[in-house]
């Protein structure tokens, strides 16, 4: 009986040692871009994608991309200025062909590089504290038409938001 206990203890010690020898470690780097006043997120609160594939219809051109979004704010009484950092377009990766002008709209209002006021009274209805009403964010070809040069086209859409100070 004593020999059985010794064998069981030895087996347990060996099992523990083998588990330690085959242990794995995982390291994950996390990061966050933080603005304590505003965020433009999908309507469910998740992050907007960093990359969006657009579909090209050979008859109509680019199919518009749309997501429902909300502006999340720490001050529901403040108006929000929204603008594009640059005029968006798609360009062929090899630099050939004409640029394809793009239009970005928030709540059906075309955004430009000039700031537009989105009034707090129109944005925040109190249904979700700190969250605006759900609004469509649309990225579309400015003049829908087929693109005739084959290849990959890329572009960047950059939206800037500023919480206005002193909103009545």
H or E segment at 101?
strand 100-106
pTM: 0.81
- Compute the C-alpha angle 84/109/135, nearest 5°: 95
For residue 34 the two structure tokens come to 């933080």
Residue closest to 97 by CA, chosen among 161, 36, 146: 146
Dump pLDDT digits (tens) for 94-134. 988 899 999 999 999 999 999 999 999 999 999 999 999 99
Give the CA-trace dihedral at 119, 125, 131, 134, to 10 degrees: -90
Dump pLDDT digits (tens) for 51-60. 999 999 999 9
Domains in the chain, CATH or no CATH each: 38-163 (2.60.40.2040)
């Amino acid at each position: 009986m004593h020999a059985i206990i010794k064998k069981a203890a030895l087996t347990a010690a060996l099992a523990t040692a083998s588990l330690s020898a085959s242990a794995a470690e995982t390291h994950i780097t996390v990061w966050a871009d933080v603005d304590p006043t505003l965020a433009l997120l999908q309507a469910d609160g998740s992050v907007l994608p960093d990359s969006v594939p657009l579909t090209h219809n050979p008859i109509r051109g680019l199919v518009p991309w749309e997501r429902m979004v909300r502006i999340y704010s720490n001050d529901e009484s403040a108006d929000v200025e929204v603008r594009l950092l640059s005029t968006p377009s798609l360009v062929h990766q090899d630099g050939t062909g004409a640029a394809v002008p793009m239009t970005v709209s928030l709540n059906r209002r075309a955004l430009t590089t000039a700031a537009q006021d989105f009034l707090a009274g129109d944005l925040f209805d109190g249904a979700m504290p700190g969250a605006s009403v759900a609004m469509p964010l649309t990225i579309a070809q400015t003049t829908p038409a087929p693109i005739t040069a084959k290849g990959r086209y890329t572009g960047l859409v950059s939206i800037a938001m500023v919480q206005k100070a002193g909103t009545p």
